[in-house]
Amino acid sequence: MTCQHISTRSTLFASAALALILGMTGSALAQDTADQPPQAELEDHTTQPQDQYQPSLDVLAEEELPVPGAPEGVEPLTQAEFNEANEIYFQRCAGCHGVLRKGATGKALTPDLTRELGFEYLQSFINYGSPAGMPNWGTSGDLTPEQVDMMAKYIMLDPASPPEWGMPEMRESWIVHVPPEDRPTEKMNDWDLDNLFSVTLRDAGQIALIDGGTYEIRKVLDTGYAVHISRMSASGRYLFVIGRDAKVDMIDLWMEDPSVVAEIKIGSEARSVETSKMEGWEDKYAIAGAYWPPQYVIMDGATLEPLRIVSTRGMTYDEQVYHPEPRVAAILGSHYRPEFIVNVKETGKIQLVDYTDLKNLKITEIDAERFLHDGGLDSTRRYFITAANARDRLVVIDTKEGTLEAVTDTGGITPHPGRGANIEHPVYGPVWATSHLGGESVALIGTDPEGHPDQAWKIVDSFYALGGGSLFVKTYPGSNHLYVDATLNPDAEISGSVAVFNIDEFDDDPETEPEYTTLNIAEMAEITEGQPRVVQGEFNKDGTEVWFSVWNAQDMESAIVVINDETLELVKVIKDPRLITPTGKFNVKNTQQDIY
């Protein structure tokens, strides 16, 4: 039986449960504390793949901020303790509860709530966790007893507020290394740019440019910390990368020795960058969105000069209450209108930003669903399909008409599509695939409202893959394979493998489960130390090979494994001391043309 509508397992991010508990009454907390099992019987909540996915704010953890005053009856923290508590909070908790602790995916942890509950209640729940989903930070050994006590005190203090980042700060960080007039007027190297891969070397703060034909590392470039994505300009000349430290680097691939020609820092934490794609506006503008401060900035596409900053603070779409910290998640450039498509995570709004007149900026704001995350375009590039992941839904936007097309429930499980995968299903026609953080399944949603109207924007099928903890699915036009990773699965053999489905064998029989081939990519890489995790398949320019990152600890060997898409046989293992924690890989042609 196919797992139609998937499973009902709760997949709220791990730390969100703390906020739910803190919203209880004091008597409920006391009862739950009394019912705690002995320490030896406590479930280790970090064993579930969805609990290992921590949307941490790495760079904010490095901020040194003054210690706020302690409430009466609470022992104050020293500056050193406050710095340590800030680091723990930003790395483990802020991704769900927000920088200002006013709630994000998780509920609020503001002092008016936490002080009423008191130190002992807070200390107990941080230490022991709860079967409801709160990780047992103390008894699991993740935090020491002293750190548990410190965090209980910390969340009773006023929230630390990192600095804002406006136009003066952006312009001060903005550097043009090579002005446009000093750049080449034609391609000056012999690189096959269409088959070039930009590979994130996460913990090194670098990217590697790798030739897809020779597998040679052409160059390693210093960038921002933990590059999240690489995006191509519409012309295919400029490569834009953004680190989680909100640093944007612009690389000119036409130069004899491709190099960074401009850079800017657009905040303290960020994830997304994109360029204008509409015909007639190619390469005109770039846009980057920040987690902190909650805003996005439109920049000159040739120099990264900041031109217009837009704050995303405002009302949630449903309850219409003010949210001080709506982070900017996925951004796409429309191919149908001169617009950027901007996901505003916490308020549940999608903004269509018309860039034809920055002085008189026009923004169409679509009420969608809260906790918008990542997503991609269908095969026609008309429809944007994005995950509202903590609400277990997919949202569809018609980028040609500029309207909300549909909101589809995924059946109580958290979608994490990356950009998704466009498939020509033998029965249902064009469909788009997503995998899920906490569940084992893959879902297919119909994307052909004209040819297959009965299936449009509905989940037409769902089926099991290797296991929970998948981050990305991948296919390519003309390929008959769908690849599904399981990067965050706690089982080393599963996290080091991918499931490969034969698309030609998909059918509409709810009684059959499609079979898949398991490729142990980590074993092919012959990496025996650590727990190397396989992540994010990416095809070469011809769709004949698919590349996987074998992502290991920073001080251990990592690799990239290349597979023949037709035979599923090993083609190449790329190893090099410079390949430190490789994660995302972005082929120039596929990224430029939104092929996935």
Give the burial string for 363-385 (b: 16+ CB within 10 Å, else e). Answer: eeebebbbbbbbbbbbbebbbbb
Q: Which residues contact 37 (CB under 8 A, 6 or more apart)?
A: none
**What φ, ψ does residue 52 adopt, rounded to 5°?**
-85, -10
**Cβ partners under 8 Å of residue 28, min gap 6:** none
In sequence order, the β-bridge partners of residue 483 are 474, 500
Q: Cα–Cα distance between 367 and 341 in angstroms, integer?
A: 13
Distance of CA 498 to the CA centre of its chain: 19
Q: Just list the catalytic residues.
A: 93, 96-97, 134, 373, 416
- Evaluate whether 347 touches 360 at the Cβ level (below 8 Å): no
Give the CA distances from residue 36 to residues 124, 128, 135, in Å, rounded to whole numbers and listed in that order: 10, 8, 13
**Sheet containing 328-333: order of strands:** 328-333, 339-344, 349-354, 362-367
369: helix, coil or strand? coil
DSSP 138-202: TTTTSS-HHHHHHHHHHTTSPPP-PPP--HHHHHHH-EESS-GGGS-SS--S---GGGEEEEEEG
Take residue 160 and report the two structure tokens written for it: 């630390």
Q: Which two tokens stand for residue 536?
A: 């994010």
H or E segment to which residue 33 belongs: helix 26-34
